[in-house]
Structure 1
Amino acid sequence: MRTTLIGLSILAAMSVAAPALADDAPAAPASPWTINGTASVVSDYRFRGVSQTDKRFAVQGSFTLSHASGFYLSVWGSSIDDYVAAGGDQEIDLIGGYKTTLSGTTIDSGFLYYYYPGSGGANTDFFEPYLNASHTFGPVGTKVGLNYAWSQKGQSCSYDPRCGGKAKEDSLYTYGELSGAIPGVPLTFTGHLGESWGRSYLTNGLKNYTDWSLTAAYTWKALSFSVAYVDTDFKKGEFVVNGRNEVSGGVVATVGVAF
């Protein structure tokens, strides 16, 4: 009997000590890698103010692999209309970059590769390095940036006499944004102003043009909803495809989910 009591006492002591030992065990280190993604439906995919879907809806999605050091790799895709890339119906952006914050200012730089599968062997793909900086001043967020694509066949607009028959073109895109929220209202607002420089198919053979937008966005858990008004300073008839003015002002609605 005494032996049994001693045995039970030892078991009880071990059962009490076991959780304590488990609590004292060091926690597994957090992984420096994170993966996230998005999926969305948009009523009109506008690229720098120009419709890429003939003013029809598009399905879009992305995946991003990020490292704690600031480096990241990302892939983003969208359905497009066949006039954008010689018959292709997809745009896939492959992105590699680095992001860091210095004295409250976030610097983001990297390379974009625009890939258009199904373009029938046409030279439609091109590289575009980018650099942007963002900073928050109280309730107001600011962002400025530029994207520059050196002379590449993928940007040729040799079909247009305004380009001088060049088989390669370069382009520069500069932009600025302001964002903020109204106190007590669960909405964020973003104003965007951009300028495209250089003659290429991106500018429909024109030397440069301006685009702007105003977006209201709402996020609930993993879901996001937004409505934007997008416009450009193209003149009437300067960018018409299939009888549609692809650059006229319009409302763009988006529903998305993050995971």
Structure 2
Amino acid sequence: MRKSIIGLTAVLLSTIASPVFAQEEPAPAVTVTGGATVVTDYRFRGISQTDKRFAVQGTFTVAHESGFYATVWGSSIDDYIATGSDQEIDLIAGWAKDFNGTKLDVGVLYYYYPGSGGTNTDFIEPYAAVSHTFGPATAKLSAAYAPKQHALASLGKARQDNLYTAFDLGAGIPETPVSLSAHVGHSFGPSYLTAGSSFSKGYTDWSLGASYTWNHLTFGVSYVDTDGDVFTPSGRNASKAGVVGSVGVAF
């Protein structure tokens, strides 16, 4: 938003000749944002989706001033995640609004795995989150519930559901481009797309991270861990503690 800047004399003249000469430009009703990121390991709720290898990710969001938004997010994945698929595409529709520093965000997310050979791997997950800003810090509570679906089934079950809850805390260090973050989440119920039968009763994940922003670039590093063991077909432990680096660009 740009504000016109004029001298005192011009202000006096404008009030006589044109009372609306000095005014703010209206904010656009619709905004479009996006970005791309390279990560050393794509961790979904603590579990590696890339066999602990690099992933390329991209996103764009269309948002309306009313609070409604739509987002498309995508990442490369390893083919053990969704029966041969090497890509995850998340289709998101939601509504978010800020009420004096408290933000409410509700919506629904559809996980799409193209190239999975017709296997039931796609699933839908409504979510809700509430966050509040305290000076430079923001705390957020969130929950995502996936109702009973074939894609979540494990241990011989036909369909199962999953509930994921999380608490996130983030803060920017004043007068610096550095931000810190902390996360803890718990998954209630199994999902072979994320954890497999080793986590049939649920599991907990957590992380600590830091980021540095320079112009449109953001450099990040985080430590991620869970309280269980999940092994990929290559023999790697996808849930073992690890350090994840990232480089992202926003536009």
> Which deviates more, 72-81 or 132-141?
132-141
Quick one: which amino acid aligns to residue 166 of structure 1?
K
SS in 2 for 1:31: coil
**Residue of structure 2 equivalent to 1:50:** 47
**Residue of structure 1 equivalent to 2:115:** 118
Q: Indicate conservation of the 8 Å contact 2:123/2:149, yes or no.
A: yes
Residue in structure 1 matching 2:180, options 185, 189, 192: 189
Quick one: which amino acid aligns to residue 141 of structure 2?
V
Alignment of structure 1 residues 23-34 onto 2, 5 Å: 30-34=27-31
CA offset at residue 224 of structure 1?
0.6
SS in 2 for 1:122: coil
What is the CA–CA distance in structure 1 between the aligned matches of 2:170 and 2:26, rounded to whole Å? Answer: 36
**Residue of structure 1 equivalent to 2:13:** none
Return 5+ residue gaps in structure 1 as ranges. Answer: 1-19, 158-162
**Residue of structure 1 equivalent to 2:8:** none
Q: What TM-score, normalized to structure 1?
A: 0.84
Q: Indicate conservation of the 8 Å contact 2:136/2:174, yes or no.
A: no
CA offset at residue 180 of structure 1?
1.7
SS in 1 for 2:190: coil
SS in 2 for 1:154: helix
**Residue of structure 2 equivalent to 1:152:** 149
User: Which has the larger share of helix?
Assistant: 1
SS in 2 for 1:131: strand
What is the CA–CA distance in structure 1 between the aligned matches of 2:209 and 2:22, rounded to whole Å? Answer: 49
2:164 maps to 1:178? no
What is the CA–CA distance in structure 2 between the aligned matches of 1:186 and 1:32, rounded to whole Å? Answer: 29
Q: Indicate conservation of the 8 Å contact 2:38/2:55, yes or no.
A: yes
Quick one: which amino acid aligns to residue 45 of structure 1?
Y
CA offset at residue 184 of structure 1?
5.1
Q: Cα 1:31–1:103, aligned 2, differ >3 Å: closer, same or farther?
A: closer
What is the CA–CA distance in structure 1 between the aligned matches of 2:23 and 2:145, rounded to whole Å? Answer: 48
CA offset at residue 137 of structure 1?
1.6
**Residue of structure 2 equivalent to 1:217:** 211
Sequence identity percentage: 57
Number of residue pairs aligned between Structure 1 and Structure 2: 231
Question: 1:198-246 CA deviation, whole Å, 9 max, x = no partner?
Answer: 12213312211000000101111111110001010004xx434311111
Residue in structure 2 matching 1:61, options 34, 58, 63: 58
CA offset at residue 66 of structure 1?
0.3
**Residue of structure 2 equivalent to 1:251:** 243
Return 5+ residue gaps in structure 2 as ranges. Answer: 1-16
**Residue of structure 2 equivalent to 1:198:** 189
Q: What TM-score, normalized to structure 2?
A: 0.87
CA offset at residue 87 of structure 1?
0.2
Alignment of structure 1 residues 138-149 onto 2, 5 Å: 138-149=135-146
SS in 1 for 2:228: coil
What is the CA–CA distance in structure 1 between the aligned matches of 2:26 and 2:195, rounded to whole Å? Answer: 50
**Residue of structure 2 equivalent to 1:79:** 76
